[in-house]
Amino acid sequence: MWDQLLTDIIKGDHKSLARAISLVENEVAGYETFLQQLKVGKATVTGITGPPGAGKSTIVDALIGQWTKNGKKVAVLCVDPSSPFNLGALLGDRIRMSEWYNHPNVYIRSLATRGSLGGLHPSIIEITALLQAAPFDHIIVETVGVGQSEVEIAGLADITVVVVVPEAGDEVQTMKAGLMEIADIFVVNKSDRPDADAFVRNLRLMLAPAFNSEKKVTVLKTVASTKQGIEELANAIDENTKIVSDSYRKQWLMTERVYQLIQRHKMKNIDKAFIKKELANSLGQQGFNLFTFTQQFLKE
């Protein structure tokens, strides 16, 4: 089964790719060996992140149009937030990008965070590797834009695009420490709004004393709803792709991925439902101590 799936994925069969992703998500027997057979892909992984309402999905939609117009094959992973109680999610991107679902050169998969605190799907590294085994030219990962996803995406994506709007001045300041380090491209979307030019100037000034003197962060204006600035964004992503080949940056990216895989493996036997049940029994006891309670799950 696995060997045939891999053969079909390499050929670009979307149905086989969809099936393989589901099998890996559900950790069906043999999936780890299957993942070890994947070849290193050539497709660039572009992370699109930023606060909710910035227009990330519209940017993604416009980028798909730009790349497919040039004959490129594009895969998109849209991560939607899950309920912290039942882990269900409203996969809104299925509606927003509906025109691409039957396009032969486009593959879109909506994923739920499934309670992952970082705002990404827990198997995002494995799923991205599956997409890289297929003959795509570009892979886009759109994050939820909450919690630490803005920073976590940097460990997954070759290029990180942070989307903001002109009114986000104070918001950018609060996110500054993480964003300045991981952003390759800042996109000021909805730049037809008042004060957009002033915001762009301030953003560039903010970026001037760069955290990494070797890295120049690109700032672009777009109006994604009318496709304005999208060609420039696509070109900027291509330009930044050349920088990714830098060995230090590549080593850092791969180290982050290995660390996350090891972390997940170590946590594999930790059952949140069991912890909740044990906690319910312990909370009523006199002298309950959170740290003492936690120690029982840390023992080898």
Please count the other Cβ atoms lying within 10 Å of the Cβ belonging to residue 14. 16
Bridge-partner residues for 106, per DSSP?
74
pLDDT at 117: 43
State the Cα–Cα distance between residues 134 and 105, nearest whole angstrom.
11
- Which pair of tokens denotes residue 291? 């740290």
pLDDT higher than 90, residue 216: no
**Those residues with Cβ within 8 angstroms of residue 116's Cβ, 6 or more apart along the chain or in another chain:** 122
Residue 27: phi and psi, rounded to 5, are 50, 50
Give pLDDT, residue 261.
84
Comparing 26 with 117, the larger pLDDT belongs to 26
**The predicted structure's pLDDT at residue 87:** 43
- Domains parsed from the chain with CATH numbers: 1-37 (no CATH), 39-246 (3.40.50.300)
Taking the C-alpha atoms of residue 226 and residue 66, their distance in angstroms, rounded to an integer, is: 12
**pLDDT for the residue numbered 149:** 46
Q: Which residues, in sequence order, are bridge partners of residue 33? A: none
pLDDT at residue 71, as a whole number: 95
Distance CA 199, CA 298 (A): 48
Q: Is 17 exposed, middle or buried (0-12, 13-18, 19+ CB in 10 A)?
A: buried
Of residues 229 and 42, more confidence is placed in 229
Number of H helices, E strands in the chain: 13, 7
Residue-wise pLDDT for 164-194, tens only, equals 898 866 556 655 556 666 788 999 999 999 8
**230-265 confidence digits (pLDDT tens):** 999 999 999 888 776 666 667 777 787 888 888 878
* Orientation angle between helical segments 124-133 and 2-11, nearest 10 degrees: 60
CA 155 to chain centre: 9
Question: Reduced to 3 states, what is the DSSP secondary structure of residue 223?
Answer: strand
Residue 83: the pLDDT is 43
